[in-house]
Structure formats: structure tokens, C-alpha cells
Amino acid sequence: MRYHIDTIPVWEAMEKETACPLCALYQKCEETEIDRSLGGSVMEPDARIRVNERGICCKHHQQLFMMQNRLGHALLVDSHSKEHLKKLDQLNKLVPAPAAKKSIFGSKKDTSIAELADALEQLSTSCVICEDIDSHMQRYMYTFLHLWKTDTKFRKTWESSKGMCLPHAAEMLRHAAKHLNAAQQSEFAGSMMQLIKSNLAEDEKDLEWFTLKFDYRNQSKPWGNSRNALERTINRLRGLCIAPDAPKKD
Ligand SMILES: [Zn+2]
Ligand SMILES: [Zn+2]
């Protein structure tokens, strides 16, 4: 079964003791997908067709751009743009007719400018990299719950972990609603709430000390675990967005 293959990365993410194992898995998937997008898959017909059709989001274009492979990146964007030019031709029919030409009774063929806006929005919101990462993440979340259900060592590791960031906690609980029975849901949700609350409380305490360190009276006092408290707290509240969140101590 698929979860056997995914068991290793899920365990590895738990053993990293980061603020959120799912953020760690997301980051790893993202790096792999970015590498792959400008590597061999640039020339694979199936991958090209998908990129041409779905495009790439702003965040992932930024990451591709940072890879310094301008030719590979340009090839992707060029064929995607060619595809879009064909689609834009088709969208011409959604341009509303001038009011004077419209029938006074209206017509089923009349389109509103909002339809054109919706169609343009659809051309600029999908991302193959986001979609690929998401399909990996769905499997990882399934595997996480499977391990939590069947492996007592995993459950213990989870209970002594730093929990998850709030967005991944929400996603995980939605998965739990589908894959766990009522008693398991209660136990899992209870452990989730306890972990996210105690870890946020700890981050907040460090963050408060971080702010107090700016007071000259505290200048000579030790930073303790507060140097990266701002990054850690943001990453916990919103998911990993300011890296790295490795612990730094005096
Ligand atoms: Zn997370
Ligand atoms: Zn994306």
C-alpha cells in the first residue's frame, strides 16, 4: 500500500523536531518540485502539457526565477503563453456587445463583463507545482493519521512533539474527520489542541521576552530562547513563511 512508501518521510519529518512536521514535508516537496520543473521534466511532453494548461503561481515563479536557469524557465513560460494566446482568442466572444446593438428584450447570448473577468481569473490562478505538492501532502496526512492509529511509538513521538502550525492543524483535523472514528477523533483533536496551545504559549513567552530585551534595563540579561521567537511565532500562526526556524540559543 502507498502509505508504506510515505511512512519514511513522515517519520523523518517527526524526528526533525520542527515546529510543524507538515511544514517540513511541504518544504521538502516544494524543493523537489521546483528542481524537477526546471530539470528533466521541462522536456517531458506530459509535464509540458500540464504546465501549458495550468500555469504556475506567483510564489513558485519567484522560486523558479531564483534557480538561475533563465532558459529552462523561459521555455516553460513561452509555451504557456502561446497556449494562453489561443485561449484569449476564444474569450473574445465574452466581450459584451455595445449597448446600442443589444435587443431591447435582451438575449441569451448576452454576456456580462463579470463572465469575462471570471474567465481571465481562471487563466491566472492555477499552478501545477501547488497541485503536485498538494497531492503529496494529502498522502502524507493520510499516512500521518495511519501511523497515529497503528504505531504506539509514533503516537508517543507526536505527543512529545511541538504539534503543528495552525493552518496544518486545521487541515489535519479535516482529514481526521474522514479517516478516524468518533473516539479517535476526540483523542486526536484533544492532543492537537493541547500541543498547539502549549507550544504557542511557549513561543509567546519567548516573544514577549524578545520585546523586553529592547528595554535598556534588560540589556545585560540573557536572550534565552527568544532570539528567533518572532520567526517561530509567525511560522506557528501562519505556517512556515519565515525560514529558518532552527533553535538559536546564547
Ligand atoms: Zn505547518
Ligand atoms: Zn504554486
Widest distance between CA atoms in the chain? 80
Report the distance separating Cα 45 and Cα 48, nearest Å.
5
| Amino acid occupying residue 65 | F
Q: Dump pLDDT digits (tens) for 53-73.
A: 999 999 999 999 999 999 989
Neighbours of ion ligand 2 (CB under 5 A): 57, 60, 127, 129-130
Low-confidence winner among 94-98, 174-178, 189-193, 226-230 (lowest mean pLDDT): 94-98
Alpha-carbon span 229 to 1, nearest angstrom: 40
Q: Which ligand is nearest to the CA of 130?
A: 2
Average confidence score pLDDT of the chain: 90
- Segment 185-189 mean pLDDT: 98
Contact indicator for 162, 199 with CB cutoff of 8 Å: yes
pLDDT band (50, 70, 90) for residue 140: very high
pLDDT of residue 246 exceeding 70: no
- Say how many Å lie between the CA of residue 238 and the centre of ligand 1: 8
CB 206: neighbour CB atoms within 10 A?
Answer: 19
Flag whether pLDDT at 13 surpasses 60: yes
Q: How far does the centroid of ligand 2 lie from the alpha carbon of residue 149, in Å?
A: 32
Q: Which pLDDT does position 3 carry in this prediction?
A: 57
- In this prediction, residues 7-17 reach a mean pLDDT of 93
- Per-residue pLDDT tens over the stretch 19-32: 999 999 999 999 99
- Confidence bin at 190 (pLDDT 50/70/90): very high
Ligand in nearest proximity to the CA of 237? 1
Q: How far is the CA of 130 from the centre of ligand 2 (A)?
A: 4
Which is more confidently placed, 1 or 194? 194
Question: Can you give the pLDDT at residue 249?
Answer: 44
Measure 129 CA to ligand 2 centroid, in angstroms. 5
Q: Where do the structural domains in the chain lie, given as residue ranges? A: 1-99+112-140, 162-245
In one-letter notation, the amino acid at residue 199 is N
User: In the prediction, which pLDDT does 117 show?
Assistant: 93
What is the DSSP-derived secondary structure letter of residue 216?
G
Distance 83 CA to ligand 1 centre (A): 35
Query: How confident is the model at residue 6, as a pLDDT?
Result: 87
Q: Which ligand is nearest to the CA of 132?
A: 2
Per the listing, cell 507545482 goes with 129
Question: For residues 3 and 160, which has the higher predicted lDDT (pLDDT)?
Answer: 160
